[in-house]
Structure 1
Amino acid sequence: MEEYGDKLRILAFPCRQFGDEPVSEEDIAKHANQNNVKFDIFAEVEVNGEGASVLWKYLKHAHSTGSAKRSNVITTNFTKYIVNKAGIPVERLGPAEDPRILKNLITSYF
């Protein structure tokens, strides 16, 4: 992350909708501090359904059109969006996708 300077901002949003986040927000913050996490971790959110946060509704809606059309449903934790400088989601990656491709994708939007 440091190599990108102010060109990159990583935002993490814990979610319990999938039963994979058994710890409290306080425990998440403690773990992040102990491990010198260098990205922003926000309060817990819902990503699906009527209770979904406005941000996640926007991300899913804005990226559900075009040739890379995906479902508006997030099915598990660690779904990633790349959002360009204009605030438009340009890529959506699932948890099973190789994280090494992120570097090339991210730098292509600088």
Structure 2
Amino acid sequence: MSDFYKLIPIDSKSEPFPFSQLENKVVLIVNVASKCGFTPQYEELEELYKKYHEKGLEILGFPCSQFGEQELDTQEEIINFCKLNYGVTFPILQKIKVNGVDADPVYTYLKAQKPGLLGFRGIKWNFEKFLIDKKGIVFKRYSSVVKPTSIESDIAALL
């Protein structure tokens, strides 16, 4: 079993969200923020989720305020913002840190599996994306500027 499935982050209701429930699914993990220039990517993420969820795609948003304090303060505000402005139906988990000594174990794992350019292990900005295959292997990492719909072919191939 992949170590990916041993991870257990916390969901928006402060409940454990064991990644073991994601076995045999393709997973797209994104660090999100509500007040960022990339925030409109929520629309494309939701589009992909609606199109491929029934075929085995799961998208997980991890709110983060480490880049310019661009995330709302409370979990309730974040969830309401996502639903009201972008109709988000995929899971938005608890607000976390993605860099530094307090980085969430999910991001510590993802960065170790797929470092960025020149081996840079940090997350550079909001809306970086990690695509995980059905076996829990981190397939690819995409920068913030990569639009979600431009990775649709990778998602379809893994499904």
Range of TM-score over shorter length: 0.7 to 0.9
The corresponding residue for 1:51 is 102
Q: Which has the higher contact order (CA 8 A, sep 6+)?
A: 2
SS of equivalent residue, structure 2 residue 131? strand
**Structure with the largest fraction of helix:** 2
- Distance in 2 (alpha carbons) for counterparts of 1:94 and 1:20: 19
Q: Does 1:27 align with 2:77?
A: yes
The one-character-per-residue Cα deviations of 1:32-74 (angstroms, maximum 9, x if unpaired) are 2324312110111111111001000000001139xx8642010
Q: In the alignment, residue 60 of structure 1 is paired with which amino acid?
A: K
Residue 22 of structure 1 and its aligned partner are, at CA, apart by 4.0
**4+ runs deviating over 6 angstroms:** none
The one-character-per-residue Cα deviations of 1:82-104 (angstroms, maximum 9, x if unpaired) are 01111111111111123332110
Q: Does 1:98 align with 2:147?
A: yes
- Distance in 2 (alpha carbons) for counterparts of 1:21 and 1:50: 20
- Distance in 1 (alpha carbons) for counterparts of 2:50 and 2:147: 21
Q: TM-score, normalised by structure 2?
A: 0.61
The corresponding residue for 2:4 is none
Unaligned runs of 5+ in 2: 1-48
The corresponding residue for 2:92 is 41
SS of equivalent residue, structure 1 residue 42? coil
Unaligned runs of 5+ in 1: none
Aligned length: 108
Q: TM-score, normalised by structure 1?
A: 0.86
The corresponding residue for 1:17 is 66
The share of aligned pairs that are identical, in percent, is: 30
The one-character-per-residue Cα deviations of 1:2-44 (angstroms, maximum 9, x if unpaired) are 2321510000001111124241222111122324312110111
RMSD: 2.0
The corresponding residue for 2:42 is none
- Distance in 1 (alpha carbons) for counterparts of 2:141 and 2:148: 12
